[in-house]
Every structure is written in C-alpha cells, then in structure tokens.
Chains A and B, each alone.
Chain A
Amino acid sequence: MKITLKIWRQKNAENPGRLVTYERDGVSADMSFLEMLDVLNEDLTAKGEEPVAFDHDCREGICGSCGVVIDGVAHGPQRTTTCQLHMRSFADGDTITVEPWRADPFPVIKDLVVNRGAFDRIIAAGGFVSVNTGAAPEAHATPVPKVDADRAFEAAACIGCGACVAACPNASAMLFTAAKITHLGALPQGQPERAARVVSMLDQQDAEGFGGCTNIGECAAVCPAGVPLETISQLNFDLRRSMTPSRRH
C-alpha cells in the first residue's frame, strides 16, 4: 500500500509544532499502525533525520501507553488502542493525519508524546481503598454479589490511555475518573470512603484543568477498554449524594 502521512512534529513543549508530510510505499496490510511508524523511523534514521517520538510499550492493548489521534479520532478508525490498529483498516492511497492527544492538562513533551501525569494525581487524590498491607481480613469474609463484581471489573478495565480526554470536545477526564469511582463504589470494600472519594477525585480533576462533562458521549465511543458511559452517571449520583451532609464523614 501507498500511504501519505501527515505527522505532528514538535521539538518540545515550548516550541510550536507543525504537520510534516511523509510518503510511505510498500506498507503491508498486516503491519500494526505502530510498526508502520517503526519502519518510517528506520528510514528517517537512515536518512539522518530524527525519528518520530511516540509512546508505546506493551503493544497488546493493555498498558495504555500508546495513543494518537488518527484522522481526527482518538486511536483511529477502530475502537481499539493504536497498537492494535492494523494497516488493513486503511486503503491504498490514503492520507492519514496523526496528532498527539490535545488537552492542556496533557502537555506535549515531544512529537506525539504527551504528559499524562494528571491521571496519576487524580488517582492519588482518592482512587484507592485505604488498607495497609497486612491489615486485610480473610478474602471470603465479605461475599460480593457477582453482578457487583462484574460491574466493578468492567469499570476497572480502564487502561488510563487518555483517549476519553482526547476525544472529548471539552477535554474532560470524566470517563477516567468515573471508571474508578464506579469500580470502587460497586464493591463493599470501597464503601467507607465512597462519599469523600468522589469529591476529592473530582476536585483534583478540576484542579488539573480538564473541562467539564457535557454528556456528549465521545469518550465512551472511543474507549478501547469499553468503559461504559453510565459510569459518569454513577459518578454524578455519588457526587449528588455526597452533598447530603450526613453522608460526608
């Protein structure tokens, strides 16, 4: 296949970036999108040009490292991670625009690499159960209904890639935060801190500079982990409940 790539090149956070066009010939349909970039980088290196920087690690769709906006859609035309996207999703002669996640709380580090440290800080604000190592009761002490465990799992499947933020017209991180609220809130172990958790995490999310949610649903539509939109409703429910004074411990 012959492909024309327009890739965002940006030296660092301070310098403005621009799209640079690269022509690629002999692209195999069986290549993953990132392998196509690998080959591009090998060619650039051979020509003495600096290779394109992009984040990636596991290349099996679970670590959440990779993620670029391809033709205006986070992770591209398939609902999967960029590393699991294969070139057979494109046609011979296509022009593909590749940009980094764009959100001010995710500043560009270089080319397609952004800093997603804001997500870690949102988790640090309350995305956990406060249990020190060794303090745990026997695992079977508290049965958890299967439906609750399954719902918790579905939300916990979030890989923290940031596609939700990238796709949101408001650059909101609600789906990410809501996934953790829903995960921990669905389980008995998460109940004691439930009311405080939602306020702390949302507060941190706002402080990081993410936009507010307007329930458009782009986030869930591009989420490679399939975190459902209803988690946001759950977060909203928990937040409203936390406004009741007796619920705030």
Chain B
Amino acid sequence: MTDGLIDGLYREGEPIADTKAPGVPLAERWSTRVFGGHLVSPNNRRKLKIIVIGTGLAGASAGATLGEAGYQVTSFFFQDSPRRAHSIAAQGGINASKNYRNDGDSTHRLFYDTVKGGDFRSRESNVYRLAEVSGNIIDQCVAQGIPFAREYGGLLDNRSFGGVQVSRTFYARGQTGQQLLLGAYQALERQVAAGTVTTHNRHEMLELVVVDGRARGVIVRDLVTGEIETHLADAVVLASGGYSNVFYLSTNAMGCNVTASWRAHRQGALFANPCFTQIHPTCIPVSGEYQSKLTLMSESLRNDGRIWVPVAQGDTRDPRDIPADERDYYLERAYPAFGNLVPRDIASRAAKRVCDEGRGVGPGGLGVYLDFADAIARLGRDAVVAKYGNLFDMYRQITGEDPYQVPMRIYPAVHYTMGGLWVDYDLQSTIPGLFVVGEANFSDHGANRLGASALMQGLADGYFVLPNTINDYLSAGPFDTVPADHPAVVEAVTSVQDRIQALLGTRGTRSVDSFHKELGQIMWEHCGMERTEDGLLEGIEKIRALRREFWADVRVLGEAGELNQALERAGRVADFLELGELMCIDALHRRESCGGHFRAESQTEDGEALRNDDEFAYVAAWQWGGGDGAPVLHKEALHYENIELKQRSYK
C-alpha cells in the first residue's frame, strides 16, 4: 500500500494539460475556440438534455442561457427557490474592464491584475477570456433591469476595490450579488415559463452517473419526500459553489457544501488546488460556542477605519480608555505604503499574528479593533453614516454594540475557495460531459481572488463561456439512451441508498453538528491562515480519526422518507471529512507560500509570503485514490507568456 507514496500520503501521476485553448496569440484564443468548436443546430438542441446543479450566478445564468438556446435543461438545487443560492449574499460589486472612467483600464489590465492578484497560480488563457467577456456581462445585466448604482447623469457608477489602481467595479449598494442573482433567476424563471427549463427545488445531488466514461446523469434526493430519483441527460453541469463550510464557521450560507463536487471527484473528476482558500479580514468575531456562521463586513470599511490592538498583552481596558501611545496600528506600522488597505490575505495574517501574540481583543482574544473615531472626527458623523450606515447597523444588530461609540471588533474568516474541480478551457472536467462553472471550478483566481471578481467569473462562465463551449461536446449527441436498469445507474442508486442507511443506522451518540464543528476547528487550526509541515500532518491524523468516529458514532434521528435536515447535513459533513484530508495533503505538498496559502516555512525575513516558482508554478490536480487509497497528483504546468512572474510587494 505504501509503494511509491510521497510523504506517506500521495502518489504522483502523469502531468495533465489543457488541450482546448488554441495555440494562437492570447487575444485571439477565445474567438478562435468559439469558431473552431462544433455547433448544434437549433432543431437538434431540443433533443439534448442538460442537467444543471445549483442556481447561483453561474448555474442560473447557464440554465437560462442554455434554455434560451433551446436545450432541455433540468435544474436542481437544495434551497426552496433558485433565488436563494449563496451568490445572493455577495456585497461589494462586479468587475468589468469597460474603462468608463478613462483611467487606463483595458481587457489586458483586468487580465494582468487578476493573474497578479492570484499570485501567478492561474491559467493565462482562462483569465484573459474572463476579462474579455466582462463587459458583455454588464451589458446583459443592465438589459435585464438590474438596478446598478448610477450617477446623476444617468450613467453607471464605478468604485475601486482592493489590489487594483483603476475604478472598474460596478455595484448595487451593498447588495450587488443579490441584484445580479435576481437578474439571472428571473431569466431562468422566464425559461421555466417557456418550457425549456424544469426546476426541482429542495433536491440535492448525491451521485454522478458515469456511463462508458461519460457523465450521463445524477442521482438526487427529494429533500421533502426523501425519494431517491435518477435523472439522465446528455451532459451534466456542476454549479454547486465552494466548500468554505469545511471550516464549519465561514461566511458561506449554512447549506453550502462540497457534496456535488466531491461525488464527481470520486467518480473520476480531478480536484484542483483544494488548499487555496481565501480568508477575509473583516468579519464579525465569534461570540460564543453556539456560533453558527460568520458575517462579513464589507472590505470598504478599511478605507476609513483604522485597525489596531493594544500594545500590551491582555489589556482588557475599554478601548476608548487606551491612550494613543499604547495602541499598535500594526498595518500602518508594517505596511506604510498601503496601510489598512493591504490585500485580504496580508491583512488576515497580520490580525492572526497579533492575536497569537496575546494582544487580541474581545471574547477569547480573537479580534482586533476597527476604529472609526478618527474618521468620525475628520468627516463628521453624518458622512460616516452616509457611507457606512447600513454596515454599522448590521454590526449593531449582531453584536449589540454601537460602532459609533466603541470601535468595531473584527477577525478574519473563511470566505471563498479558489480551488475546485479541474476544468479545461471549455470548462469541462476530466470526465467527458461533466462541465463545472463558477466557484465550483478552479480556473480563474489562482491562489487568491481579488474583490468583485467572483461575481464576474460566475456570470462569465454561465452566460458566455459554457453556452459556447458545451456545443462542441453536445454536437456528438444525442448519446445512446441509458436504460434505468443500466449497471452504472443501479450501482449509483444503491450506493446512495446504502450511504443513507449507514448514516441513519449508526444511531450513535454524537450529533452531526458536533462532528462538523470539530472538523472545522481542526481545519482552522491546521489548514487555516498559517500552515506548517507538522501542523498539517497532525491535522490529517485528526481528520482521519474524526472520520472513523463519525461513521461509528454519528446520531441522525428521523427517517429517510421525509424532510430530514440532520440527514442532509450528515451527508455533507461526511464528504467534508474526506475533502478536509485532501486539502491538508495539498497544503502539505505545496511547500511554498502563495496567495491565500501561507506556509510558515516559506516566508521572507519580514514574514511575507515567499513563492517558489521554480518548483510550484503548476496546478495541483488530484485524482481520487479510492477507498483508503492515496490520492494521485497530476500537475498542470503553468506558462506565463504574457506576464512576467514577480513577487508581490505591498510595503
């Protein structure tokens, strides 16, 4: 079993490469690919079925667009309405290189900023295409009636976001994700009325059906009746989002999970860069044991708020009584050029460092002050209300403290996962017929995502990329009908049923949530903001032990044939328990620091992240090892022909 194991944990397989991006100059690749791909004639599209899992920005926009094209689309989502997918919670905005500000923005600059922001761990071809279609997204959304913020002249307003020097972010107050998702949702519902899209709410995908090497359908559970259903199609699109909830506490919605992606991974899809997670610096800290999720406070607060902790350890005085010379404005001190506006990963790590030094504030010492006293003195209270009023209200609602009077307390929280299922330029995974869009794939953000880029990627994939690339695959269809008693289908159904029975049948002593919380603590401690060789090895052992305990001692009450929320969570936690180990293995093998992945062993003398391009300029795509088998690493080398590899500096 241990033959050829690296670090005793994984094997290395053949390298992989994206074969779909044409070998033409960067700016011509997308148009060349669109022209080179086969098309499906309109009268043939209605014979082709496509399953879409998830209705966030990527899933809803893909479902609507494929429906408009005339395909038969079936959409599944665990929420009660497509409009509730977690894209709805995105606050800040969406980037597009419209250059409405005449500030030197361009497709190339957006491409450059995104690759650099991703710390040179993303694919040039994909990112360039993302930048290329970004403007079309804004056009489409405006035509749908999305109420973006406007200026008095009636034209669209822009603001700037972290890590860039241009104003290219379009926004709808602090609810941009909501408005964009409602636009996509309405487009989807329009296709429901037109009969091209069928939606199944409260349905969760529990298995991927692979027949003769192609993705041909899914097994879903009707969460209301508990019925296990088989749905077959010519292609399957996963738009099931990210996996931040492996940390239990994150800014993700409670229902966000990795199950759809993980089931596909176990069926053969490679999982890329699982350890790349983004930790957002400005979240409301944990207030107690019962805490169920963390709430993000917009990054924009760092424009005027000053971040500090007491100079002395264990200083429990009222923050207002701490004199200026006993405060440490640590970001302003360490990063004089960017001050409080350093990128997310740097701000998060700095907060962790001061808390580790025992200088954190609030319950458990896990928090730092974000102080608006100076801003209120400088701008006046009214100006602060106008700019940040809704955020202050939200803070007061959650904490019961008045941020106009006492400094806010903030702490970093897991926010987004850059990793995901490996896809090629066509967004197709390593299983033919299985496409992955949005946060569920790994493709565009490298090791760190810039603010306002997640919405851009979700909609780019769903509206413009997938509907063009999927034709090439479907032009070979319709594929042979899969009979309901096909061995692959029967096996998939049986495995789902067995798993549910195993979860319900254990009748142990510990609740699902207690396992999830413990997993989250392990992940946060060992695979969180700062990762070490020993810590990761220890984490892997702990996860393995917890996984064994889970299957021996989990308590799930109720029955399979009814709405059973504990059972739903149990299945998701079971998959998180496997994913967590892979994340640790990935983090362990990547012995460099890049973007959101910080290895304590790889830092500069000043404690900054130190990349190792000679050894790690690749995408780590992991193959499921099967059972207790070790995962197999496939490397996709990253080539930078249009951007020079550079070390980031924000000093």
Any A–B CB pair closer than 8 Å = yes
Q: Which residues of A contact B (CB under 8 A)?
A: 11-12, 28-32, 34-36, 38-39, 42, 45-46, 48-51, 53, 55-65, 78, 80, 84, 86, 88, 109-110, 113, 115-117, 119-120, 123-125, 127-140, 142-146, 149-150, 152-153, 156-157, 159-160, 183-184, 186-187, 189-190
Which residue from A51, A62, A152 sits with its C-beta under 8 Å from B566?
Answer: A51
A42-B150 in contact given A64-B83, A65-B84, A136-B139 (Cβ < 8 Å): no
Inter-chain contacts of B150 with A (CB < 8 A): 143-146, 149
Inter-chain contacts of B144 with A (CB < 8 A): 128-129, 131, 136, 189
| Minimum Cβ distance to chain B for residue A168 (Å) | 20
* B79 on interface, CB distance cutoff 8 Å: yes
Q: Report how far A131 CA is from B187 CA in the complex, Å.
A: 8
| Minimum Cβ distance to chain B for residue A153 (Å) | 4
| Minimum Cβ distance to chain A for residue B113 (Å) | 21
Contact B513 A38 (CB under 8 A): yes
Inter-chain contacts of B251 with A (CB < 8 A): 60
* B95 on interface, CB distance cutoff 8 Å: no
Contact B291 A110 (CB under 8 A): no
| Minimum Cβ distance to chain B for residue A53 (Å) | 6
Q: Report how far A124 CA is from B140 CA in the complex, Å.
A: 19
Residue pairs across A and B with Cβ atoms less than 8 A apart, 19 shown, are: A30-B399, A35-B292, A45-B557, A49-B557, A51-B565, A53-B563, A57-B84, A63-B85, A78-B397, A116-B80, A120-B201, A133-B65, A139-B138, A139-B141, A145-B150, A146-B151, A150-B147, A156-B147, A184-B145
Which residue from A50, A57, A115, A143 sits with its C-beta under 8 Å from B153?
Answer: A143
A128-B189 in contact given A35-B290, A133-B463 (Cβ < 8 Å): yes
Q: Report how far A180 CA is from B511 CA in the complex, Å.
A: 42
Residue from B187, B513, B565 whose CB has the most chain A CB atoms within 10 Å: B565
Q: Report how far A58 CA is from B192 CA in the complex, Å.
A: 25
Q: Report how far A28 CA is from B291 CA in the complex, Å.
A: 11
Contact B201 A117 (CB under 8 A): yes
Contact B154 A129 (CB under 8 A): no
Inter-chain contacts of A142 with B (CB < 8 A): 142
1/0 contact string of B386-406 vs chain A (CB within 8 Å)? 000000001001111000000
Q: Report how far A130 CA is from B511 CA in the complex, Å.
A: 48
Contact A30 B154 (CB under 8 A): no
Contact B190 A124 (CB under 8 A): yes
Inter-chain contacts of B142 with A (CB < 8 A): 136, 139, 142, 189
Contact B145 A160 (CB under 8 A): no
Inter-chain contacts of B291 with A (CB < 8 A): 35
Inter-chain contacts of B88 with A (CB < 8 A): 58, 62-64
* B149 on interface, CB distance cutoff 8 Å: yes
Residue from A29, A56, A65 whose CB has the most chain B CB atoms within 10 Å: A65
Contact A38 B290 (CB under 8 A): yes
* B155 on interface, CB distance cutoff 8 Å: yes
Residue from B84, B147, B562 whose CB has the most chain A CB atoms within 10 Å: B147
Inter-chain contacts of A39 with B (CB < 8 A): 290
Contact B154 A143 (CB under 8 A): yes
Contact B139 A53 (CB under 8 A): no
Contact B139 A137 (CB under 8 A): yes
Q: Report how far A24 CA is from B398 CA in the complex, Å.
A: 21
Q: A29-B400, A45-B511 are in contact. List 5 more A-B contacts (CB 8 A).
A: A63-B88, A136-B140, A144-B154, A146-B152, A187-B147
| Minimum Cβ distance to chain A for residue B537 (Å) | 32
Q: Report how far A164 CA is from B649 CA in the complex, Å.
A: 51
- Please provide the 10 A-B residue pairs with the shortest distance between their CB atoms, ordered closest to farther: A143-B154, A136-B143, A128-B186, A153-B147, A152-B147, A124-B189, A136-B139, A133-B65, A57-B253, A58-B253
Inter-chain contacts of B292 with A (CB < 8 A): 32, 34-35, 38, 59
Contact A132 B68 (CB under 8 A): yes
Chain B: which residue is nearest A204 at the CB level?
A: B193
Contact B182 A64 (CB under 8 A): no
Chain B: which residue is nearest A135 at the CB level?
A: B143
* B89 on interface, CB distance cutoff 8 Å: yes
Contact B189 A63 (CB under 8 A): no
Inter-chain contacts of A186 with B (CB < 8 A): 147
1/0 contact string of B84-110 vs chain A (CB within 8 Å)? 111011000000001010000000000
Residue from A31, A62, A143 whose CB has the most chain B CB atoms within 10 Å: A62
State which residues 131-182 of B face A: CB under 8 Å. Answer: 135-136, 138-156, 172-173, 175, 178-179, 182
Q: Report how far A226 CA is from B142 CA in the complex, Å.
A: 23
| Minimum Cβ distance to chain B for residue A170 (Å) | 23
Residue from A34, A42, A46, A140 whose CB has the most chain B CB atoms within 10 Å: A140
| Minimum Cβ distance to chain B for residue A60 (Å) | 5
Chain A: which residue is nearest B468 at the CB level?
A: A134
* B542 on interface, CB distance cutoff 8 Å: no
* B295 on interface, CB distance cutoff 8 Å: yes
Inter-chain contacts of B394 with A (CB < 8 A): 60-61, 84
Contact A139 B253 (CB under 8 A): no
Q: Report how far A62 CA is from B399 CA in the complex, Å.
A: 18
Inter-chain contacts of B85 with A (CB < 8 A): 63
1/0 contact string of B180-215 vs chain A (CB within 8 Å)? 001001110110110000010100000000000000
Contact A157 B79 (CB under 8 A): no
Inter-chain contacts of A65 with B (CB < 8 A): 79-80, 84
A124-B192 in contact given A30-B399, A35-B291, A157-B175 (Cβ < 8 Å): yes
